[in-house]
Structure 1
Amino acid sequence: MSTDRLKLPVEKLRWICDPDQFEFTTTDDLPELEGTLGQARALASIDFGLGIRESGFNLFLAGEPGTGRSSTVKNILKKRAKGEPTPSDWVYVNNFKTPDLPIALALPAGKGSELEQDMRELISAVRSVIPKALDSKEYETNKATIVESYQEHNNELFSTLETEAQDKGFALQRTVSGLVMVPQKEDRNFTQEEYEALPEEEKERISQIGQELTDKLNDVLRQVRENEKQTKDALAQLDRDLGNATVGHHLDPLREKYGDNPAVVEYLNAVQEDIIANLEDFKPQQPVQSPIPGLKLPRQEPSFERYQVNVFVDNHETEGAPVVFEPNPTYNNLFGRIEHVMQMGGMATTNFTLIKPGALHRANGGYLIVDAREVLMNPFSWDSLKRCIRNAEIKIEDPLEQYRFITTVSMKPESVPLQAKIIMIGSPWIYYLLFHLEPDYRKFFKVKADFDSRIARTSEVIKDYALFVATHCKNEKLLPFDRSGVAGLIEYSARLVEDQNKLSSQFMEIADLIREASYWAGKDGSQVVDHGHVTRAIEQKIYRSNRIEERMQELFDDGTIMVDTDGAAVGQINGLAVMTVGDHTFGRPSRVTSRVWLGRAGMVNIEREVKLSGPIHDKGVLILTGYLGGKFAHDKPLSFSASICFEQNYEGVEGDSASSTELYCLLSAFSGVPIKQGIAVTGSVNQHGMVQPIGGVNYKIEGFYAVCKSRGLTGDQGVMIPASNERHLMLSDEVVQAVREGKFHIWSVSTIDEGIEILTGVPAGALQEDGSYPEGTVNFLVDRRLREMIESMKKFGSSGEKDEKKESGAPAPALEGGQSS
């Protein structure tokens, strides 16, 4: 079988984006991109999630960072929200009955600030009108009339009582204990001696009269108290009438203005009642008397904050439904807070005007966008968000209150009904973590929008990519791209996903390359960005990050890391690995060796023995035993010992991409046929000898090419890859050019037999009808070596057993008829 047919032509080494397919000269000629590039599945999910209004159908946008999750949903909501109704304003007002429980009022959009201004004007007017009314002649006259009537009535009662007392020889006198009736003698009080000298009948008469007068005195005092109460009621009614006269005509227009909102009308009525009950607060305050002579203290003006309106959510400038993105979803930022003001003495005070809204309040009636990771990281945020969705209300609470040993007096603002669509953005890992470990998650976030990191390469997508470039250039005032520049950018996108039929949808990296290419074009003084500038941007980006790759290349160059790139060797092959260091990924070759010997240990993976290999790599090594058994043990048992090792490897090995490499090395060790050292190998293998695809194929090829180039390209070097990886090739221009010139080669194989023939130049050999392999083939040599090892083991076992029997003098064991005794 000729191996030339397995060499890949240059056309298959990378996909070339033809710039002639574009009809523009530069991206300045293109309109901006409308909508999202690709992501049809995610867009359909978003449309469904935003359209359904039932409870619990909130959205989770899952995808890798840079796939356009945030920008996509923001653009969709920006257009969608404009056509939706603007939600109500929300204000907090004082609860005059229970100040610790402020009242939340909903008003049409824009009416909240109007109510706040109306109340401000009302209090300003009332503060001016009431003092004038209280100082008016009419008010003073009416008040004096009520007081005089009270005094006259009281004087009449006491005058009548005093006259009656004088007629009966008593006088009404005021003592420390109050008013008392005292018996008189010759217009003076009895002395104690005079009273004791009286006959008992006289004493009895005086005592009886005194008791009668005392009862009448009590009746008079009772009437005085009733009169006093009536006077107070009359004064209160006078104040109420004055208040109604001065305040009522200011409040009546407001009642009419907000008449369609019963809650606001009820609040205005409560305001009027409180003003009337506290008219004294509106009087001019007297200066405070200072206890220190010469020190003037300011007058303590009464606070009228209780009549203010706290415009909590103001939507008067909102067009349609609000769209709120909260980048820092702490508890207070999401659910609001109650601020405090420090007073002298270290005391903190608060009132309803210090209630501040959270993002959920501002998004009420619209959409709230939050980052899932940030929500989960902030204490109390996730649990409180679930509670709000479950109860369909937003309640402002102190989350630390439950952890205090002593509860403090605080406000409990009335909760606000919640009607908002919550949109969380996170990685697929967070989505699955919540889905499996958080039972409530599935109740409240029933719609998943899955953003893929790659999209199919179609002509429509390529055109949209050009529009994407145009949009970024215009929005960020970058230099425009010509057709070759856009083509180079799209090729880089295919390189990112390592697929000739796919393009990357991680637009964050694409946008960065657009900016960098524009920068280098500007450095060159160019007015447009072409393919060369894109290439330079890619090269410079690699140069900024590949210090470790260059340091490792120096180790290959000076022989510290031993890798052969020419000649041939038995039981030795070049494997390929991929390393990722931060933001830079590169490939590097690694020498794999194998040794075989007589024994029954089977396959020994040295990496596994020293715990440097992972379970997937161990699985790949164990598959080799299955392959050997199926290939060579159909007519005999296998009995051998073999070791496989990644030479000069001092770190962990994981993955099965080297399993075919290890198998080739093992077959060389068994057959004694040397392997060409100028060929590196990658690919996993199954038990039937089929070579399976692997990842990082471009990095692996370019890593081995760099080593070969530094030592001199011979024209016989190259890399052997699985045939199923052909579509993943997006090799660099340098490697493609080397293949075009015949200095380097890429072979594509589907089976181990194809691969071993390329590596050794010897046919693999197919199994014949008699169960043998053609003489001179690799499989024939392997099969013969395995037979020889079995025979050697049998001879060794037989001779060793005889020697042991001779030395011990024991009889040989019976072959048949039971056990020997």
Structure 2
Amino acid sequence: MKKFKNTSEIEPYDGIIGQQRAEKAMQFGLKMNNPAYNIYVSGNCGSGRITYTIKAIESQQIDESKIKDWCYVYNFKDPRKPIALDFPAGKGSEFKTYMEDLIECLTEEINDAFENEEYELTKNKLLQTYEFEKEKLLKNIRDYGKEKGFKLKSSSSSFIFIPIDDNYEDEISAEEFCKTKKELEEMAIQVLYKLKSLEERVKQVVIETENQIGKLVVEPYIEAARKKYSDNKKVIEYLDALEENIIESIYYFYLDEDDLKDKYDKDYALKYEVNLFVGNDNFSKIIVENDPRPSNLFGRVEYEYHNGNLKTDFTKIIPGAFHKANGGYVILYVDQLLRYANTWELLKKTLKTKQIDIEGQGFINPMPIPCDLKIILIGSKYLYNLIYNYDPEFMKYFKVFVDFDDEMDKTEENEDAISRFISYQCNKNNYKHLTYDAVTKVINQSMKMVEDKNKLSTNFNKLMDMIDEGNLYAKMDGSKYIEKRHIDRAILAKKNRIDKIEEKIDESYKNENTLIDIEGKQVGVINGLSVLSTGEHTFGKPSRITVATACGNRGIVNIEREVKMSGSIHNKGVLILEGYLAENFAQEFPLSLNAYICFEQNYGGVDGDSASSAELYALLSSLSNLAIKQNIAVTGSINQKGQIQVVGGIPKKIEGFYYCCKHKGLTGEQGVIIPAKNEDNLVLCEEVEEAIKNKKFHIYKVNKVEEAMEILTDEKFNIIKELSIKKLRKYSEYKK
């Protein structure tokens, strides 16, 4: 890392660090103009994957022709299927305003036209003609009836003839009376037909007159609209249907509400509204949907109760994230996406059909909108593998995998980038700047997080935690800069907040409730090392492993496995011991023994193979009857050939045994045996490093079982082997 006094002196950097593979994959995915090349971004939280994804998208040029406004309008042919109209970005609101003004102007013009004196005169003239003709027909039949001695009584739907003189029926014969009355009734029926026909003719003329007047008013406005939107075929089709409907329903525009027949008639204006479904006056190319339930992604239709029934219409169609981001990008979190049973299937359907469907629950079924966007899923590697293995269609639609690494090479370039990143964060958050030593401490802690001298962590969230808290302690001290001591204090304070379980275990060692010897020698007893995790806190602790051997034919008995407290990897490690014994100790006679292996005072189960070497050493100690040093703890896995293999958690294991020894009393003789190939993982805390440097604590690196056994027993391995074979031969002879 280049030298500086504090981070205010260096150029800030707000980019991704140490993720070259992920960067290349992301740029490829964003540039690939193919609907199947959607992107899955994998990585741990805090790796910068989300921040980088958003920045990478923002750097892309958007094809503005893909960005459209969408409006839903009434479908006059099928009201259950609202029509979707598309417009260039920003023109949808213009269309909505234009149509609102058009309907308002038409309403005024139509009202004026039908309140016009000429229209009233024409209408009155038609009605007078009807009344004249009606009265003429009635007069004729009335006069004729009078000649025959009958007077006419009329109702709204029929005529009745009754004699003028009460004695008339007695003066003529019954036959003549019936004949005359029948003749008059037949004439009355003919008159009723004529009146009905006359009424229909007059009504039709009135309607034709209204339509003619309506056309005169409506056509110029609709024609102007057609010219304005002449390049949009769907709008032209809508305007044609709109014009036809307005002319057919012209009376809606000039009748008073009280004159309208029912509530539906009073809502006639709803048909002429425009639902600005998606307006992109200020288009946001990225939508991050944190709650990907189907309605939030694919839109919904809202409902309201009316007289105990559900009611809806096209103005209540609400867009989802896919509609809003159409032409751009949608970012979804996979763990949230999979919480909703239907979302994943609907997502695949959208990608397959290339259109966004809105479920209307049978009331209305809005016209689908074409889908033209890129979907970016943010999730873990585990979820990627899960979907990949269980859904064969996954790779059809998500062909780009962007894999963020949780570590990067420890190079001067990356260290400088971290320094510049810290400078940027200090400026951004108005923090005090860090001194060179403070930054060095942060970088060392980053190295410690990945437990590798040649690597650095990409979990920048945790690095920022140190800076956030270090800034607080610098303020409390009144310091001008965040110094190394402030970072140290932040690290220690955080540990103190979360290490209660570790303290309880340390207390158990002090009080000797947990039996661990760190001095002397014992046969068949060794200190193994394990790692425990309690949420965010991970720490190492020694565990006493004991082995008891006897003649018999059960072989190696893993007591943890017998009581179902052992995981499969640990079981495998124990079985490997049998392979090692068979090759090295049973070439001249059958292997016959009972060997019982146990993690003492283990109440929470055990897994992993990092204790397999310790188990073997304790087993060889029991067979050879040679005592093992208790001041040396052991970690490492073995293979059947006796080679010591790398294991994880080396720093935590070493520190765990160191602090146990410290609590019980450091003698300068204690230490840990580790696999030689784990040397790069010796990223230890300053206290342990100092103790090793001053030879108060020791690290022994081994490649083979033989090396470790000689350290633990101070005996040559050939002697250990001879003694072990001798006992195994005895066991074999007992069996015979």
TM over 0.5: yes
* Bigger radius of gyration: 1
- The residue aligned with 2:170 is 193
Structure 1 residue 528: deviation in Å? 2.3
1-structure distance, mates of 2:149, 2:293 = 82
2-structure distance, mates of 1:626, 1:44 = 46
2-structure distance, mates of 1:287, 1:153 = 31
- The residue aligned with 1:723 is 676
- The residue aligned with 1:374 is 336
Answer yes or no: is the 8 Å Cα contact 1:576–1:587 preserved in 2. yes
1:521 aligns with 2:474: yes
Percent sequence identity is 38
- The residue aligned with 2:316 is 354
Q: Which runs of 5+ in 1 are unaligned?
A: 1-18, 290-297, 402-408, 766-776, 798-821
> 1:197 and 1:412, CA in 2 relative to 1: closer, same or farther beyond 3 A?
closer
Structure 1 residue 219: deviation in Å? 6.0
1-structure distance, mates of 2:525, 2:371 = 69
SS of the residue corresponding to residue 588 of structure 2 reads coil
Structure 1 residue 218: deviation in Å? 6.0
> 1:190 and 1:241, CA in 2 relative to 1: closer, same or farther beyond 3 A?
farther
Structure 1 residue 84: deviation in Å? 4.9
Q: Which of 204, 221, 228 is equivalent to 1:257?
A: 228
2-structure distance, mates of 1:492, 1:63 = 20
Answer yes or no: is the 8 Å Cα contact 2:7–2:419 preserved in 1. no
SS of the residue corresponding to residue 65 of structure 1 reads coil
- The residue aligned with 2:11 is 30
1-structure distance, mates of 2:406, 2:210 = 75
SS of the residue corresponding to residue 338 of structure 2 reads helix
Q: Superposed, which structure 2 residues align to 1:136-151 within 5 Å?
A: 136-151=116-131
Q: Superposed, which structure 2 residues align to 1:760-775 within 5 Å?
A: 760-765=713-718
Answer yes or no: is the 8 Å Cα contact 1:171–1:181 preserved in 2. no
- The residue aligned with 1:814 is none
Q: Which of 297, 309, 316 is equivalent to 1:334?
A: 297
SS of the residue corresponding to residue 127 of structure 2 reads helix
Structure 1 residue 786: deviation in Å? 3.6
- The residue aligned with 2:78 is 98
Answer yes or no: is the 8 Å Cα contact 2:521–2:627 preserved in 1. yes
Q: Superposed, which structure 2 residues align to 1:434-583 within 5 Å?
A: 434-583=387-536
- The residue aligned with 1:616 is 569
SS of the residue corresponding to residue 713 of structure 1 reads coil
After superposition, the C-alpha distances for 1:659-702 in whole angstroms (9 at most, x for unaligned) are 11111112222223222211111001111110011111110000
2-structure distance, mates of 1:358, 1:48 = 27
- The residue aligned with 1:69 is 49
> 1:190 and 1:488, CA in 2 relative to 1: closer, same or farther beyond 3 A?
farther
Answer yes or no: is the 8 Å Cα contact 2:539–2:656 preserved in 1. yes
Q: Which runs of 5+ in 2 are unaligned?
A: none
Answer yes or no: is the 8 Å Cα contact 2:558–2:598 preserved in 1. yes
Moved more, 90-99 or 76-85: 76-85
2-structure distance, mates of 1:180, 1:546 = 105
Answer yes or no: is the 8 Å Cα contact 2:673–2:708 preserved in 1. yes
Kindly tell me the number of residue pairs found equivalent between the two proteins: 733
After superposition, the C-alpha distances for 1:743-782 in whole angstroms (9 at most, x for unaligned) are 11111100011111111222223xxxxxxxxxxx333333
2-structure distance, mates of 1:664, 1:429 = 36
Q: Superposed, which structure 2 residues align to 1:263-282 within 5 Å?
A: 263-282=234-253
After superposition, the C-alpha distances for 1:465-492 in whole angstroms (9 at most, x for unaligned) are 2233233333333332233222222221
Structure 1 length normalisation: TM-score? 0.82
- The residue aligned with 2:97 is 117
Answer yes or no: is the 8 Å Cα contact 2:7–2:422 preserved in 1. no
Q: CA RMSD in A?
A: 3.1
> 1:649 and 1:136, CA in 2 relative to 1: closer, same or farther beyond 3 A?
same
> 1:677 and 1:161, CA in 2 relative to 1: closer, same or farther beyond 3 A?
same
Answer yes or no: is the 8 Å Cα contact 1:673–1:778 preserved in 2. yes
- The residue aligned with 1:417 is 370
- The residue aligned with 2:287 is 324
Answer yes or no: is the 8 Å Cα contact 1:170–1:181 preserved in 2. no
After superposition, the C-alpha distances for 1:43-75 in whole angstroms (9 at most, x for unaligned) are 333333333333433222223333333222211
2-structure distance, mates of 1:547, 1:311 = 58
> 1:178 and 1:665, CA in 2 relative to 1: closer, same or farther beyond 3 A?
closer
1:312 aligns with 2:277: yes
1-structure distance, mates of 2:315, 2:531 = 61
Counterpart residue type for residue 693 of structure 1: V
2-structure distance, mates of 1:498, 1:689 = 25
> 1:214 and 1:422, CA in 2 relative to 1: closer, same or farther beyond 3 A?
same
- The residue aligned with 2:218 is 247
Counterpart residue type for residue 340 of structure 1: Y
Structure 1 residue 347: deviation in Å? 4.0
Moved more, 127-136 or 745-754: 127-136
- The residue aligned with 1:406 is none
Structure 1 residue 168: deviation in Å? 8.5
Moved more, 478-487 or 613-622: 478-487
1-structure distance, mates of 2:546, 2:383 = 42
2-structure distance, mates of 1:349, 1:28 = 66
Answer yes or no: is the 8 Å Cα contact 2:298–2:358 preserved in 1. yes
Counterpart residue type for residue 239 of structure 2: L
Structure 1 residue 455: deviation in Å? 2.2
SS of the residue corresponding to residue 673 of structure 2 reads strand
After superposition, the C-alpha distances for 1:168-218 in whole angstroms (9 at most, x for unaligned) are 96879454596669799xx9799333441678xx998x699x48x947x66
Moved more, 97-106 or 728-737: 97-106
> 1:448 and 1:189, CA in 2 relative to 1: closer, same or farther beyond 3 A?
farther
Structure 2 length normalisation: TM-score? 0.91
Structure 1 residue 538: deviation in Å? 1.5
SS of the residue corresponding to residue 584 of structure 2 reads helix
Q: Which of 620, 631, 637 is equivalent to 1:678?
A: 631
Answer yes or no: is the 8 Å Cα contact 2:12–2:422 preserved in 1. no
2-structure distance, mates of 1:303, 1:240 = 18
